[in-house]
Structure 1
Amino acid sequence: MARKTTQFRQLLNSGGIEFLLEAHDGMSARIVEEAGFKGIWGSGLCISAAMGVRDNNEASWTQVLEVMEFMSDATSIPILLDADTGYGNFNNVRRLVKKLEQRGVAAMCIEDKLFPKTNSFIKGETQPLADVDEFCGKIKAAKDTQADADFCVVARVEALITGQGQDEALRRADAYQRAGADAILIHSKKPTAEEILAFMGEWRDTLPVVIVPTTYFNTPPEVFAQAGISLVIWGNHLMRASITAMQLTAARINRDRSLSGVEQEIATVKEIFRLQNAQELAQAEERYLPAHGRPPL
C-alpha cells in the first residue's frame, strides 16, 4: 500500500472530487475508514470538544498530537490535521511538521488567523487575519522542514469569513501558492455556496482547492465537482451525531432508571471489542504466550 502521504496527494490531484469525514479519536477514525472514506479530517473543533474544552487553542498542540497518533495507528488511510494557525510562529510550525511526519500524519491545514485562534463561526467577521508575508513564512518553513516530499500543506484562507471579500481572498490564495502551499482551503460561512463558486470562477490556477461546506450543506456535490473543487470536508458530523446520541441515551437511562429501554438501540460490547481489534490480541496470545499464561476464553 502506498504511504499515507502519497495517498493524500493522490486524493488532491485525482482530477475529480474526493471527500473527507471528520474524526476526533482513534475509534471515530476507524469508523470513518470502515464507512469507505479515503481520508480523514482531524478536526480541531471536534478534538477540542472531545476533551471538553473550547476551540480556542485551549487544547495544547502536544495534546492534539497525541490524539493524532492514536488516530493514525488505528487507520490505514491518510489524515489531514486541522492545525489551526500552526500553534505559534514559523518555528512552532517547523516542529509540528516533524512530529506529524513521525506519527504518519499525511497533511496539515493551517489558517491565516492569529494565535490563539477562535473558531470561524464565533464572530468570524471580527477576527483579525495574519499578515500575508508572515503567513507565507509559515508555509515556506513547513515545506522546507518536511522530510517526505509527499507531505502536504493546505493553506486556509479566511478572508471571506472576515468579510474582506473576493479580491482579498484571491490575493492571499495567490501569495500562499507562491509560498509553496500544496492546496488552498477557501472557507465561507454563508448558507449557500455563492461565495465559493465566485472564488472558483476567478481562481484559474492548477493548485487544488478544498472546501468545508458546514453552512452550505444543501449544495449538491455535483456543483462542487463542476466548479473544479478537489476535496470536500464534512467537518464535524461524527462529533455532532455522537453528542445527540449520548444526550438521548443518558436522559433515557436517567428517566427510566434502567438500561432495558436502550440496550437494543446501542452498539454491543462485542462491537466495541471488534473496533478495538481484540481478535488480533487473542491471536497474538496464541502465538506468543505459553498455554498456562493465556487468559481464559
Structure 2
Amino acid sequence: MLGSSSTAHQQRVAFREALADGRLLQFPGAFNALSAMLIAEQGFDGVYVSGAVLSAELGLPDVGLMTATEVAGRAATITRSTDLPTLVDADTGWGGPANVARTIRSFEDAGISGCHLEDQVEPKRCGHLEGKELVSTADMCTRIRAAVRGRRDDAFVLCARTDARAVEGLDAAIDRAKAYVDSGADMVFVEALTEEREYAAFRDALDVPLLANMTEFGKSPLLSAQTLEKLGINVVIYPVTLLRLAMGAAEAGLAEIRRSGSQQGVVERMQTRSRLYELLGYDEYAAFDARLAGYLEEDPS
C-alpha cells in the first residue's frame, strides 16, 4: 500500500547484489507509476525509465529537449510505486561536469537506483537513429568522473552508455567502454549492436556488468532472455515496449469509436475495473481505513 515499502538505499543495494549473482535481470520500461506496478506484479527484476518514453509522453522527440528536473520528477513517481530498483536514462547529463554531478544528486533524491550516461554530443539523438555524433573519450570520462564525485550513496549504480558501435566501429566502442570503466562506471550499456558475436566480444573484453537494449524497430536483433544470458549479459531493458503496446491499443480503440460511434466493440480488450482495482490494491486501502470498504458493490466490472 502507498507504493514502495523499502528505502531507496535498500533498493540500490538489492540491485547491486542482483548484478553480482550473474543472472540476467529483465527491466521493462514503465511509462507511469501504474505500468511500473504491473511490471512488479508480473515478477520482473526492475523498472527502466526511458528518455524516449518520457519525451514521447510530453509530445516531444527524443532529441534532448527534456530537462534533468523533468526526468527526475517523473521518474520519482515511478520509482516510489514499487520495491523494485529503477534504472533511469540520464542522456548526456544535461551539461558540464557540475551539471552531471547535480543530475546524479537529483536522481538520488528522487529515490532512483541507478542511471546511464551516454557519450553523444548535445543535443543527443535516439540511439537507433542515423547522424549521431560523439564527444571524445576524454570528455566522456570526465562526465563519468563527475558523476562519481556527485554520488553520495555508493550503492547508486552508474552505467556508461556508448553509441560508438554505429559511429566508430566495434573495436573503438570496446576501447571506449574500457576507458569508461577505468573512470568509475559500474556497468556498460552498448547501444545498437547488430549481431550476437558483438555482444560476446564485449563480454570477453570487460569484467563489469553489461546491459543490452532490446528495443523494437531498431538496429539490434530482438534476442531472447535465454540467448542474452548465454552471452553473459547482466541486464536487458525493453524501453518502449509497454508504451508501444498501450498506444497501439489506444489507437485501435479510438478508430473503433470513430468508425462505429461506440466503444462496445473493444470492451473485451480492455482492462476491467475490478482488475484495475486489484492492481492498485483497493483492498489494502479498505483494510487500512474501513471507511473505504464496499467500493465494488455497485459495479464489479
TM-score over 0.5 for the pair: yes
Amino acid at match of 1:221: A
Displacement of 1:49 = 1.2
1:275 matched to which residue of 2?
A: 279
Matched, 1:195 2:198: yes
Amino acid at match of 1:86: G
Select 1:92's aligned residue among 91, 99, 105: 99
CA distance in 1, matches of 2:132, 2:267: 46
Is contact 2:287-2:293 (8 Å) kept? no
Residue identity over aligned pairs, in percent, reads 28
CA contact (8 A) 1:121 1:189 kept: no
Q: CA deviation at 1:177?
A: 0.6
Q: Counterpart in 2 of 1:139?
A: 144
> Is the contact made by 1:97 and 1:145 (CA closer than 8 Å) also made in structure 2?
yes
* Structure 2 partner of 1:56: 63
Q: In structure 1, what is the equivalent of residue 299 of structure 2?
A: none
Spell out, residue by residue over 1:220-242, the C-alpha distance to the aligned partner (whole angstroms, 9 max, x if none): 43332232221111221101111
Residues 180-212 of structure 1, C-alpha deviations (whole Å, 9 max, x = no match): 10011111253x4343233334x1x32111111
Matched, 1:120 2:124: no
Match of 1:31 in 2: 38
In structure 2, distance between residues paired with 1:267 and 1:227: 37
Selected match of 1:237 from 238, 241, 249: 241
Q: In the alignment, what sits opposite 2:24?
A: 17
The residue that corresponds to 1:40 in the other structure is 47
Q: CA RMSD in A?
A: 2.1
Task: Tell me the matched-pair count.
Answer: 285
Separation (CA, whole Å) in 2 of partners of 1:219 and 1:70: 30
Report matched runs for 1:106-117 at 5 Å. 106-117=113-124
Kept in 2, the 8 Å contact 1:26–1:72? The answer is yes
Q: Which runs of 5+ in 2 are unaligned?
A: 1-5, 296-301
Choose from 2, 7, 14 the match for 1:7. Answer: 14
Cα offsets for 1:35-69 (capped at 9, x unmatched): 11011111111111122211112222211111111
TM-score by length of 1: 0.88
The question of 1:186 aligning with 2:190 is answered yes
SS at match of 1:181: coil
Measured in 2, the distance between the counterparts of 1:110 and 1:276 equals 33
Partner of 2:228: 224
Q: 1:234 to 1:57 in 2, by over 3 A?
A: same
Q: 1:264 to 1:133 in 2, by over 3 A?
A: same
In structure 2, do the counterparts of structure 1 residues 206 and 238 end up closer, same or farther at CA, with 3 Å as the change threshold? same
Specify the SS of the correspondent of 2:189: strand
Distance of aligned partners of 1:220 and 1:260 in 2 relative to their CA distance in 1, 3 Å threshold: closer
Shift of 1:90: 1.5
Mark the CA change 1:34 to 1:295 in structure 2 (over 3 Å): closer, same or farther. Answer: closer
- The unaligned stretches of length 5 or more in structure 1 are none
- TM (normalized to structure 2)? 0.87
Distance 1:189 1:49, change over 3 A: farther
What is the DSSP-based 3-state SS (H/G/I as helix, E as strand, rest coil) of the residue aligned with 1:211?
A: strand
CA distance in 2, matches of 1:178, 1:217: 29
